Amino acid sequence: MPQNNYEYFLLMPQIIIGIGIVLSVIIEITSKKSEQILPWFSIAMFLATAVYSILDINRNFVLFGGMIEVGGKPAIFNFIFNIGAALVVLSSIDYLKKYGTYYGEYYILVQSSVLGMMVMSGARDILMIFMGLELMSICFYVLAGINRKKFSANEASMKYFLLGAFATGFIVYGIALIYGTTGSTSIQNLSENFSVYSTNIVFILGLIIFLIGFSFKIATVPFHMWVPDVYQGSATTVTGLMSTTGKAAAFSVLIVVLTAVFGSNTHNIVRPYFATISALSMVFGSIVAISQNNLKRMLAYSSIAHAGYMAIGLAAGNAYSIAGIIFYLTAYAFMNIGAFAIISIVEDENDSRVDLNSFAGLHSKSPILAAMMALFMFALAGIPPLAGFFGKYYVFVSAIQSNLTWLAIVGVLSSVISVYFYIRVVVVMYFKDSVEDFKITISSFSLAAVVIAALFVLVFGIVPDTLMNVITSVIR
C-alpha cells in the first residue's frame, strides 16, 4: 500500500509502460492503420521510460510496503530493457512485412514483455519476481511463434513453452520451499535473516531449485537444450529481444536474490554451483558454435557462452563482479541486437539466407552492413576497444579477486576459441566471393537501429568508465 501519493511518481517508468499497453490496445481496436502507428508509439514510450529511469537513478527507494524498488540498479536495468526494446521495434518495422506478421499485436506483446522485465528487475518480493517472470515469458512464447504459417516458428514456440513452463515449475517449487521455511516472501527479510535460514537444509534446497529454474531462463549448460532451436526458429528480431533483454531480466533477479547470499558473512554457498555451470557453458557454447553454419544458431550457442561469462560474476559474488555483470549485460544487449538486426536485413521471406554462404561477399553488396557486422562480431569476440572486451575484462578481474583464477583462465581460453567463429564471419564477408546472387533491400529503419547499436558499442568500448562509474555508484 502506498505511504503517500509521491510513490506513484517514483513508479512512473512502470506506469508509463502500463498505460501505454492499454492505449495501444485501444489504438489497435479503433484504428485501421494500427500497425503503422504502434511502432512509433512504442518507441516513444520506451524512450520516455528509459530517460525517466536514468534521470531517477539517484532516487533509490523501496515502494508499496517493500514490493518494488525504483532507482539504483533497477533504473539501469530499465534503461537496458527499454533502449533494447526500442531498437528491436525499430528494426522490426520493415522486417515484419517481409516475415508475414504485419500485425499491431506484435508491438503490444513486446511492450508487455518489457513491463514484465521491469517488474522483475525492481522486485523486492518473490511474488513480484514470479509475476514479472510469467508476464515476460508468456509474451516471449507467443512472440516466438507469432507467424503461425511457419513450421519452424511453431516448433520454436512449442519447445520454448514446454521447457519454459518446466523451468517455471522448478521456480515455483523453490519459492514454495523458501516460503515454507521462512514464512515470508520478502527479499529484505531473506537477506536480514539469511545466516539463520542458511542452516536449514530445506531452505537451501529451495534456493538451489529456484536457481536451477533461473539457470534455464539465462540459458546455461546443462539447462540450455531449448536455446538453439528456439533462437533459430523464432523471428530474427524477436530472437534479438529474447537473447538480450530477457537474459538481462533473469540476471537482474539472480543479482537481487543472491545479494542476500553475498552480503552475509557466511560461506558463499552458491559459488560451486555457479562456477560449474559457468565453466560448462563457456566451453560448451564456444566449441559447439564452431561447427554451426547457420548464423542464428551460431549466435544461439554464442549466447550460451556469454551467459557463462556473466555467471562468472555470480560465482565471484562481490560488488565489483555485480557491476561487471551489469556492464556486460548492457554491452551484450547492443552487440547482439545489432547482429540480429543485420541478419534480419539480409534474411529473405522464406527464412533462408541466414547461413554463412549468404554472407559471403557481403562487402561488395553493401559495405555499410558488412562493416557493422564486422564491428559486432569483433565486439562479441571481445576485442578491444569495443564494449564486449570490457564486459569480459570486468568479470574476469572480479573472478581473480575472489580467488577463482581457474574460472578466469577457462573464460579466457574459451574467449580465444570463440574468436575463431566470430572472425570467420568477417573473413567470409570480406575475402570470399559471393556464392548466391541476390540483391539486399536495406530498410532504412533497420539500418538506423543497427547504427545506433553500433554507436553504443563503440562509446561504451572507448569510454567504459562513464557507464562503469554510474553502475558502481548505485551498488553499495
Rounded distance, CA 430 to CA 378, Å? 14
Letter for the amino acid at 249?
A
Q: Give min distance, CB of 88 to another protein, in A.
A: 17
Least distance in angstroms from the C-beta of 219 to another protein: 22
Number of neighbours of residue 154 by Cβ within 10 angstroms: 15
| Residue 441: count of CB within 10 angstroms of its CB | 9
What lies within 8 Å, CB to CB, of 182 at 6+ separation is 189, 190, 193, 197, 203
8 Å CB contact between 137 and 168: yes
Binding site for another protein (CB under 8 A): 1, 18, 21, 25, 64-65, 67-68, 102-103, 105, 108-109, 112-113, 115-116, 119, 125, 127-128, 131-132, 134-135, 138-139, 141-142, 145-146, 148, 157
CB-wise, 18 or 385, nearer to another protein? 18
Cβ at position 192, least distance to another protein in Å: 19
Is 138 or 221 the residue whose CB approaches another protein more closely?
Answer: 138
CB of 64 to another protein, least distance (A): 5
Tell me whether residue 63 or residue 372 sits nearer to another protein (CB atom): 63
Q: Which is nearer to another protein, 85 or 410 (CB)?
A: 85
Q: Which is nearer to another protein, 13 or 145 (CB)?
A: 145
Could you count the other beta carbons within 10 Å of the beta carbon of residue 6? 11
Do the Cβ atoms of 473 and 354 come closer than 8 Å? no
Residue nearer to another protein on the CB measure, 66 or 384: 66
The alpha helices in 347-443, defined as continuous H runs, are 362-365, 367-381, 387-401, 405-431
**In the complex with another protein, which residue's Cβ is closer, 75 or 118?**
118
Q: How far is the CB of 161 from another protein (least distance, A)?
A: 10
Contacts of 420 (CB under 8 A, 6+ apart): 290
Do the beta carbons of residue 28 and residue 38 sit within 8 Å?
Answer: yes
| Minimum distance, C-beta of residue 180 to another protein, in the bound complex (Å) | 14
Burial of 469 (0-12, 13-18, 19+ CB in 10 A): exposed
- At its nearest, how many Å lie between another protein and the CB of residue 67? 5
Rounded to a whole number of angstroms, the minimum distance from the CB of residue 99 to another protein is 14
CB of 109 to another protein, least distance (A): 6
Q: Record the cell numbers describing residue 80, joined without a space.
A: 537496458
Specify the residue, 252 or 281, whose C-beta has the smaller distance to another protein.
Answer: 252
Nearer residue to another protein within complex by CB, 142 or 454:
142
Query: Which residue lies nearer to another protein by CB, 185 or 264?
Result: 185
Asked if residue 171 lies in contact with residue 130, where contact means CB atoms within 8 angstroms, the answer is: yes
CA terminus-to-terminus distance, the chain: 27
- How many angstroms separate the CA atoms of 444 and 389, rounded? 29
Q: Does residue 91 contact residue 240 with C-beta atoms inside 8 Å?
A: yes
Question: Beta strands of 48-118 (E only): which ranges?
Answer: 61-63, 68-70
Give the integer Cα–Cα distance in Å for 391 and 468. 10
Q: Which is nearer to another protein, 141 or 210 (CB)?
A: 141
- Tell whether the torsion through CA atoms of 217, 219, 225 and 230 is positive or negative: positive
DSSP line for 225-258: TTHHHHHHHS-HHHHHHIIIIIHHHHHHHHHHHH
* Beta carbon of residue 404, minimum distance to another protein (angstroms, whole number): 36
Judged by beta carbon, residue 136 or residue 399, the one nearer another protein is 136
Of 39, 193, 21, which is closest to residue 119 (Cα–Cα)? 21
**CB of 471 vs another protein, minimal distance in Å:** 26
Q: How far is the CB of 236 from another protein (least distance, A)?
A: 18
